[in-house]
Amino acid sequence: MTSPIKLLALDGDGIGPEIMVATLAVLDAAAKAFGLKIEIRKMDIGFLALKASGTTMPPGVLEAAKAVDGVVLGPVQHDDYPPTDKGGVNPSGVLRKELDLYANIRPARTRPYVPSPITKTFDLVIVRENTEGFYADRTMFAGTGEFMPTPDLAMAMRKVTREGSRRIAQSAFELAKLRRRKVTAIHKANVLRVSDGLFLAEVRKVAKAFPDVAYDEKIVDAMTALLIRDPAQFDVIVATNMFGDILSDEASELAGSLGMAASLNAGTDNAVAQAQHGSAPDIAGRDIANPVSLIGSMAMLLRWLGERHTSPELLKAADAVEAAIEATLEDPNTRTRDLGGTLGTKAFGAAVCAKLIG
């Protein structure tokens, strides 16, 4: 590529700054190894931004995110933010809504060298709708989807549209064609007959356009059990926002650790790499956090950019980063403590860099 790739890095809260340092070190190593031109701009969000500017998501951050090729987002501690009217907005939710990042891609697979709570092996991807559903910050043009008509009554709105359902289904089937050609739709249409009924109707329409991809449906509560009992039967799983969020955390934990759960928020024109886990404030500043999730998410962003720009170098860099992660995890001496190793966050990042360079 002749023009540089421009990225925005947002550390976030808790362990965010630490895992971001490791991630950007790996990105720099990949850029040098494959001759990539990458320009990185850093801005503050979360508690640091709240202290400096009175809001956890300064307006300039959103404008910067719109202007770059991609964003690397660290975890945020939004549960502990002040109310919205006092500056406590969720940066992740704002980016997903304002950049229309409708597809949250969350891969999960077991590895023979990483302990798992189950003996079964699996390799699946959850394609989660990202801009609608039960999430109160994504259901209304103004205000919130949660409200209290009386002091003793709380209500929540769910938003499901034909367009939102169609495009997330399209993403799932297109991904399945590159994998094992099977899509499973998750729903609760036996209870949520109207909203999940609409979702399923659109998924079924898309399924007809992909006759070479097998298609089935599972009720969400049965799916939570099936992921434990027989996860190998699943390839690509498509779900509405909340169901996809819950199932992807379950799948990642079954794969060994949320600390390895990569995630990409993708839209038509923008993408945000984001660790699937939270900010883990209890271990912040101790150099013990596992940075694999954010490093892997960054590799997913490189692949998205490589496909978008038809860049073999970016695609090769993405493959190389993922291979370096695996090689580092495979060696017991270069794992983080949560996986039985001894390396800290920074040292693990350096070990991945060494695999890339050498």
Q: What distance in Å separates the CA atoms of residue 156 and residue 142, rounded to the nearest whole number?
A: 15
Q: What distance in Å separates the CA atoms of residue 205 and residue 185, rounded to the nearest whole number?
A: 12
CB 279 within 8 A of CB 76: yes
221 catalytic residue (yes or no): yes
188 catalytic residue (yes or no): yes
Closest by alpha carbon to 103, among 293, 242, 238? Answer: 238
CB 242 within 8 A of CB 81: no
Q: Which is the catalytic residue, given 81, 102, 135, 215?
A: 135
123 catalytic residue (yes or no): no
Q: Which is the catalytic residue, given 32, 86, 216, 221?
A: 221
Give 75's contacts (C-beta < 8 A, 6+ positions apart): 12, 13, 14, 15, 16, 19, 274, 275, 277, 278, 279, 280
Q: Which is the catalytic residue, given 28, 249, 319, 338?
A: 249
Pairing of strands 214-219, 236-239: unpaired
Phi, psi of 220 (to 5 degrees): -60, -40
Amino acid at 108: A
269 catalytic residue (yes or no): no
245 catalytic residue (yes or no): yes
Residues classed as catalytic: 135, 188, 221, 245, 249
